[in-house]
């Protein structure tokens, strides 16, 4: 009996599922495939947590922000953006997975990422799994959580615990002429896909403190979101 196929997207932080993996994720979810997205860190170390509490003027919104949150509260606010983004892209709520035991961002090791990933895959028996990860960027500076997760995905694939591995080049590195760019395929969204992606991006720019939405993603990496909104695309390579 042929195994069912499942695509498992690996998000180091809230927003990576969109700006780095979103075009492909949106396309596969809309196509009716079994699509999962796993979140490996809590996002609580972002400078935005301090910014939202310090009473300084905000360049994005009128007035001053005085919204103190502890790490757990801030992580929950970031998770709301993540889940809203995935919902806009068509991922079923039960397949948007905030992994139990996830790391604090900045603290994800390759070993911990691999442990979390293998534990999840053990819950997907009888599947032909394709892992979808950000690419390990060995020639330019990369967020350490991104590197750890990418290397963990590579190990899991090389050990035969996933059928296919696809690496996605990070938009933030596109200015560099580096070896990792060789052999990449550009994915350009259709107009219908673009509408879904822009709706997902709005999840990270929503400012509604009364409902627990603080535009954390947009406060954090405004330039990256602006670039994605202007030209949503992805660059991908399938590993042999």
SS3 34: strand
d(CA 63, CA 130): 46
Can you count the helices (H) and strands (E) in the chain? 9, 9
Q: What is the pLDDT of residue 1?
A: 54
Location of structure tokens 């895959």: 121
SS3 73: helix
Q: Give the domains, in start order, of the chain with CATH numbers.
A: 4-238 (3.40.50.10320)
d(CA 205, CA 175): 24
Q: What is the pLDDT of residue 32?
A: 87
Using a 10 angstrom Cβ sphere, with 0-12 exposed, 13-18 middle and 19 or more buried, the burial of residue 125 is: exposed
**Tokens standing for 156?**
């899991």
Helix (H) or strand (E) holding 98: strand 96-103
Q: What is the pLDDT of residue 56?
A: 86
Cα torsion 109, 114, 115, 119 to 10°: value is 150
**Per residue of the chain (240 residues), what is the pLDDT tens digit?**
567 999 999 999 999 999 999 999 999 999 889 999 999 999 999 999 999 999 888 988 888 899 999 999 999 999 999 999 999 999 999 999 999 999 999 999 999 999 999 999 999 988 999 999 999 999 999 999 999 999 999 999 999 999 999 999 999 999 999 999 999 999 999 999 999 999 999 999 999 999 999 999 999 999 999 999 999 999 999 997
Q: What is the pLDDT of residue 61?
A: 85
**Tokens standing for 176?**
């560099």
Helix (H) or strand (E) holding 166: strand 164-168
């Amino acid at each position: 009996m042929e195994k069912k196929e499942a695509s498992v997207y690996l998000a180091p932080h809230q927003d990576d599922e969109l700006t780095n993996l979103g075009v492909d994720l949106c396309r596969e979810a809309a196509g009716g495939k079994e699509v999962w997205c796993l979140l490996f860190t809590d996002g609580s170390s972002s400078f935005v947590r301090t910014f939202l509490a310090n009473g300084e003027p905000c360049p994005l919104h009128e007035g001053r922000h005085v919204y103190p949150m502890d790490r757990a509260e801030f992580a929950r606010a970031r998770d709301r953006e993540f889940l809203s983004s995935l919902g806009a892209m068509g991922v079923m709520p039960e397949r948007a997975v905030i992994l139990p035991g996830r790391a604090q961002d900045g603290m994800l090791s390759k070993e911990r990422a691999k442990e979390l990933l293998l534990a999840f895959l053990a819950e997907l028996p009888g599947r032909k799994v394709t892992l979808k990860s950000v690419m390990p960027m060995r020639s330019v500076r990369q967020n350490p959580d991104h590197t750890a997760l990418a290397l963990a995905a590579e190990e899991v694939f090389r050990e035969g615990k996933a059928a296919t591995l696809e690496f996605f080049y990070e938009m933030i590195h596109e200015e560099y002429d580096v070896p990792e760019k060789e052999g990449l395929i550009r994915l350009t969204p259709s107009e219908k896909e673009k509408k879904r992606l822009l709706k997902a991006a709005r999840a990270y720019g929503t400012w509604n403190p009364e409902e627990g939405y603080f535009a954390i993603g947009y406060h954090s990496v405004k330039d990256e979101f602006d670039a994605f909104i202007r030209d949503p695309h992805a660059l991908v390579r399938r590993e042999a």
